[in-house]
């Protein structure tokens, strides 16, 4: 079976499990239950693979087998269920199979919660708080006891059909890719609420290729969502010589990101749970950490982003000016620029087009950034690429290797007309991504597609970065030959008169 077939087989099983929750709770919520259970199944099946491997290697020596298992990425603890007097009623390992065996229990939701708690406690350095925001025994979300038990039993039975052992799925990215694909599916079906935490794969791929991470780079996403953009950037390095950092303020999305990292075999990623603007946690020595690559798709024009604390920001992120209260775009941009290594850091960010031309305080911040010679490229994307919004977005690329007093040109690319039109959402094709990346890397000027603007040209436009001011995409209407049009009209009139004459003759013959 090919990797593609394995992905599709896993996807079909998990998507069938989703039917249990459809119509019961919001899709933005049931992803938490489905993806958490998928993660538990993955941990359990990998454990079975490793145990079989060690049993064979150590010829059934249980002490050596257990010692080897205790050195694995994740520990699977034993669970003791006690009665009201503290007497142990039963003991079983914290695996998916244990849950499946007990799927008919009336307290199955409580058992799942207990298992998740034990997994967390046994793997605190990796899973601390990851499962604390999800309750499989919630009456509010999953219904009253009888209904809840039926739903959870169905999920366990559906998931039991999955085989995620090494020998079944091969290299680990198969399950990681399926997990990410499911996140995308949830975002697509749930609309804006779920789409907020996921950047379409093609946009992530484009941005990752544009910032071009190198071996040894520290890569950060300060609004990391479910982590897809970080993973795409890591894949561009071409080796395992990188480190990933992220921060996310939504608790359940943060948990998804943590699990997503583990499923892609990135165990050392540091993902923090907090508000990046109000409480940045990626700090060292009482200053913002510095990164070689800073990338993000922050929430568009976030209202109440934290303007009240910006003027006294101890990290000095807003020295160019404080963005308006109802538009947090330049707040995230200011944070990202402050987090990039001076003299070499690269920043790539997805923004709404208003960031390019809105005036007032945003206009003054934009002018200051351009005067510092930090802006490298402005790339317009097609409309309707993102889940939950049809508005077009742009990519901004900044490069702190550009000298502060320099006057390097800024590349403008209008890629808004290159896409594949789908039923509900447009999509960047491989050739569209390649064209953007090639044009950017070669700093090419292409008629009606790209333009290199000087500082003077941008200043002349009052630091307005609206792409049509620089890339002329106007298509002139073809010239009309009036004489030819008149000849065509006369011919039509002659043909019409002849047709009417024939019709009159036919009607006369019929006695009309």
Q: Where are the alpha helices (DSSP H) in 414-471?
A: 430-442, 455-460
What residue has token string 């209202």?
A: 303
Residues in CB range of 138: below 8 A, 6 or more apart: 109, 148
Asked if residues 405 and 440 have their Cβ atoms less than 8 Å apart, the reply is: no
Which of 354, 347, 250, 349 has the alpha carbon at shortest distance from 301? Answer: 354
Q: Using the predicted structure, report yes or no on whether residue 474 has a pLDDT greater than 90.
A: no
The two tokens of residue 176 are 């990681």
Task: Assign 411 to helix, strand or coil.
Answer: strand
Give dist(CA 255, CA 226) in Å, integer.
8
User: What pLDDT does residue 79 have?
Assistant: 96
- How much is the CA Rg of the chain, to the nearest whole Å? 29
- Least confident interval from 92-96, 210-214, 390-394, 411-415: 390-394
The two tokens of residue 6 are 């394995």
Which of 219, 217, 248 has the alpha carbon at shortest distance from 231? Answer: 219
Q: Between vectors from CA 226 to CA 225 and to CA 231, what angle results, nearest 5°?
A: 110
Asked if residues 383 and 416 have their Cβ atoms less than 8 Å apart, the reply is: yes
The DSSP output letter for 397 is: E
pLDDT digit string, tens, across residues 114-156: 999 999 999 999 999 999 889 999 998 888 999 999 999 999 9
Q: Between vectors from CA 146 to CA 142 and to CA 151, what angle results, nearest 5°?
A: 50
- Least confident interval from 25-29, 66-70, 373-377: 25-29
The two tokens of residue 240 are 């395992």
Task: Please give the C-alpha separations between residue 4 and each of 7, 181, 374, in angstroms, as whole numbers.
Answer: 5, 12, 42
Task: Assign 341 to helix, strand or coil.
Answer: coil
The two tokens of residue 367 are 């002018």
Give dist(CA 198, CA 180) in Å, integer.
9
- Least confident interval from 165-169, 467-471, 487-491: 165-169
Asked if residues 164 and 179 have their Cβ atoms less than 8 Å apart, the reply is: no
User: What pLDDT does residue 195 have?
Assistant: 42
Identify the burial level of 278 via C-beta atoms within 10 angstroms of its C-beta, where 0-12 means exposed, 13-18 middle and 19 or more buried.
middle
The two tokens of residue 5 are 């077939």
User: What pLDDT does residue 506 have?
Assistant: 78
Count CB-CB contacts under 10 A for residue 138: 15
Give dist(CA 66, CA 440) in Å, integer.
53
Q: Using the predicted structure, report yes or no on whether residue 175 has a pLDDT greater than 80.
A: no
Q: Using the predicted structure, report yes or no on whether residue 18 has a pLDDT greater than 90.
A: no
Give dist(CA 88, CA 340) in Å, integer.
54
Asked if residues 166 and 46 have their Cβ atoms less than 8 Å apart, the reply is: yes
Average pLDDT for the chain: 89
Q: Using the predicted structure, report yes or no on whether residue 51 has a pLDDT greater than 80.
A: yes
Q: Where are the alpha helices (DSSP H) in 304-392?
A: 307-310, 329-339, 354-357, 360-371
Q: Is the torsion defined by CA of 433, 434, 435, 441 positive or negative?
A: positive
pLDDT digit string, tens, across residues 274-311: 999 999 999 999 999 999 999 999 999 999 999 999 98
User: What pLDDT does residue 194 have?
Assistant: 40
Task: Please give the C-alpha separations between residue 48 and each of 95, 164, 317, in angstroms, as whole numbers.
Answer: 10, 10, 49
Q: Using the predicted structure, report yes or no on whether residue 193 has a pLDDT greater than 50.
A: no
Q: Mutual orientation of helices 430-442 and 201-211 as an angle, nearest 10°? A: 20
Asked if residues 229 and 202 have their Cβ atoms less than 8 Å apart, the reply is: no
The DSSP output letter for 451 is: E
Q: Is the pTM of this model over 0.75?
A: yes
Q: Where are the alpha helices (DSSP H) in 136-242?
A: 139-142, 145-159, 166-169, 173-190, 192-195, 201-211, 228-237
């Amino acid at each position: 079976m090919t990797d593609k077939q394995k992905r599709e087989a896993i996807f079909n099983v998990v998507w069938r499990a989703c039917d249990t929750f459809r119509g019961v709770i919001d899709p933005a919520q049931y992803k938490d239950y489905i993806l958490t259970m998928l993660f538990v199944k993955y941990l359990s099946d990998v454990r079975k693979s490793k145990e079989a491997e060690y049993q064979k290697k150590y010829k059934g020596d249980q002490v050596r087998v257990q010692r080897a298992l205790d050195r694995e990425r994740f520990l699977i603890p034993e669970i003791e269920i006690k009665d009201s007097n503290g007497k142990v009623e039963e003991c079983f390992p914290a695996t998916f199979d244990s849950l499946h065996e007990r799927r008919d229990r009336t307290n199955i939701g409580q058992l799942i919660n207990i298992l998740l708690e034990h997994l967390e406690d046994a793997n605190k350095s990796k899973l601390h708080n990851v499962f604390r925001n999800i309750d499989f025994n919630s009456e509010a979300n999953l219904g009253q006891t009888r209904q809840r038990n039926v739903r959870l039993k169905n999920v366990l039975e559906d998931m039991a059909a999955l085989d995620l052992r090494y020998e079944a799925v091969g290299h680990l990215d198969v399950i990681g890719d399926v997990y990410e694909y499911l996140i995308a599916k949830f975002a697509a079906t749930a609309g804006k609420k779920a789409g907020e935490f996921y950047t379409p794969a093609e946009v992530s791929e484009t941005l990752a290729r544009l910032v071009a991470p190198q071996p040894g780079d520290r890569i950060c996403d300060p609004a990391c969502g479910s982590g897809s953009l970080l993973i795409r950037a890591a894949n561009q390095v071409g080796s395992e010589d990188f480190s990933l950092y992220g921060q996310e303020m939504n608790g359940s999305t943060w948990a998804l990101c943590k699990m997503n990292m583990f499923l892609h075999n990135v165990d050392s990623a540091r993902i923090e749970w907090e508000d990046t603007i109000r409480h940045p946690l990626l700090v060292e020595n009482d200053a913002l950490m510095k990164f070689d690559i800073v990338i993000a798709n922050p929430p568009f024009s976030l209202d109440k982003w934290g303007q009240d604390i910006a003027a006294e920001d101890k990290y000095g992120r807003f020295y160019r000016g404080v963005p308006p209260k109802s538009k947090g775009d330049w707040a995230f941009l200011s944070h990202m620029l402050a987090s990039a290594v001076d003299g070499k850091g690269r920043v790539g960010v997805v923004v709404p087009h208003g960031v390019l031309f809105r005036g007032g305080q945003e206009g003054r911040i934009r002018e200051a950034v351009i005067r510092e010679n930090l802006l490298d490229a402005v790339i317009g994307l097609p409309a309707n690429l993102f889940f939950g919004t049809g508005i077009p977005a742009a990519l901004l690329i900044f490069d702190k290797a550009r000298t502060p007093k320099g006057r390097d040109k800024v590349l403008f690319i209008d890629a808004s007309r290159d896409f594949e039109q789908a039923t509900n959402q447009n999509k960047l094709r491989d050739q569209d991504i390649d064209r953007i990346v090639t044009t950017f890397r070669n700093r090419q000027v292409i008629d009606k597609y790209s333009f290199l603007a000087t500082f003077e040209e941008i200043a002349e436009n009052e630091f307005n970065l609206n792409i049509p001011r620089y890339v002329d995409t106007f298509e002139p209407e073809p010239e009309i030959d009036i004489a030819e049009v008149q000849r065509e009209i006369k011919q039509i009139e002659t043909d019409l008169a002849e047709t009417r004459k024939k019709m009159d003759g036919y009607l006369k013959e019929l006695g009309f």
